[in-house]
């Protein structure tokens, strides 16, 4: 659902339904030049692609504000390429495709919580905690005496994600992974 709003009422974090997609207001500035009419300079981020663009609008121009519904949900299980989530309050189940989840799929294990943002029944974003604990399913054994400072080796975690970890990490260990960058943080 979209409601009409004025460019004079823009706020950071507001979502707009523009002809070229859903955008979040990153930054805005009201400009009143000495000559001519006032205008609003904006920096907008595409919610689907992450691309940032700058747009200028006349003061008091009408735009469609998108009403985004955020729901706290728990990941239950994977069904083929679909991920099944349950709403924590209504217990309603929702299937989300792997494409809609994007890189978030690399960090989800059964029982994890996520905040799902929807606009007109379309999943537009999935927010995870900043770090998650994952179990290392396979990695090369660390060689005794090979203690080069900062040396890394590839490891596969339970979700299938492959990342670089320090040499001392062994299969079966739990590690903390940053969900924003996909990098190893520490042992759990």
Q: Residue ranges per domain, the chain? A: 2-66, 69-127, 131-187
| Token pair in block for residue 17 | 């339904």
Most confident of 31-35, 52-56, 183-187: 52-56
**pTM of the predicted structure, to 2 decimals:** 0.72
Q: What average pLDDT does this structure show over 20-44?
A: 89
User: How does residue 74 score in pLDDT terms, banded at 50, 70 and 90?
Assistant: very high
User: How does residue 1 score in pLDDT terms, banded at 50, 70 and 90?
Assistant: low
Rounded CA separation 80/98 (Å)? 9
| Token pair in block for residue 123 | 């999943």
User: How does residue 59 score in pLDDT terms, banded at 50, 70 and 90?
Assistant: confident
Q: What average pLDDT does this structure show over 25-36?
A: 89
CATH fold group of domain 69-127: OB fold (Dihydrolipoamide Acetyltransferase, E2P) (2.40.50)
Q: Mean pLDDT score of the chain, rounded to an integer?
A: 86
Give the H/E segment covering residue 127: strand 122-127
- At 106-130, the pLDDT tens digits run 888 888 899 998 888 888 888 888 8
- Judge whether 69-127 and 131-187 match in fold: yes
Q: What average pLDDT does this structure show over 131-149?
A: 77
3-state helix, strand, coil in the chain (%, to 5): 5, 55, 40
The candidate with the shortest Cα–Cα distance to 122, out of 52, 43, 17, is: 17
Q: What sign results for the dihedral spanned by CA atoms 132, 119, 74, 48?
A: negative
- pLDDT at 131 (0 to 100): 87
Tell me the CATH architecture of domain 2-66.
Roll (2.30)
Residue 161 or residue 2, greater confidence: 161
- pLDDT at 144 (0 to 100): 61
CATH fold group of domain 131-187: OB fold (Dihydrolipoamide Acetyltransferase, E2P) (2.40.50)
- At 142-161, the pLDDT tens digits run 666 556 667 788 889 988 88
- pLDDT at 41 (0 to 100): 92
| From 74-78, 87-91, 148-152, the region with the lowest mean pLDDT | 148-152
């Amino acid at each position: 659902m979209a409601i009409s709003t004025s460019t004079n009422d823009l706020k950071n974090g507001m979502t707009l339904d523009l002809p070229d997609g859903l955008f979040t207001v990153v930054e805005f500035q009201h400009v009143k030049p000495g000559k001519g009419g006032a205008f609003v300079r904006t920096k907008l981020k595409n919610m689907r692609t992450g691309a940032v663009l700058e747009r200028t609008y006349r003061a008091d121009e009408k735009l469609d504000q998108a009403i985004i519904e955020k729901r706290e949900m728990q990941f239950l299980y994977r069904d083929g390429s679909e991920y099944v989530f349950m709403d924590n309050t209504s217990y309603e189940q929702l299937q989300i495709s792997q494409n809609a989840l994007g890189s978030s799929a690399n960090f989800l294990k059964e029982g994890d919580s996520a905040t799902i943002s929807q606009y007109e029944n379309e999943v537009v974003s999935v927010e995870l905690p900043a770090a998650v604990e994952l179990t290392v399913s396979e990695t090369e054994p660390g060689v005794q005496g090979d203690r080069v400072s900062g040396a890394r080796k590839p490891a596969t975690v339970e979700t299938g994600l492959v990342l670089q970890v320090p040499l001392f990490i062994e299969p079966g260990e739990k590690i903390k992974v940053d969900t924003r960058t996909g990098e190893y943080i520490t042992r759990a």
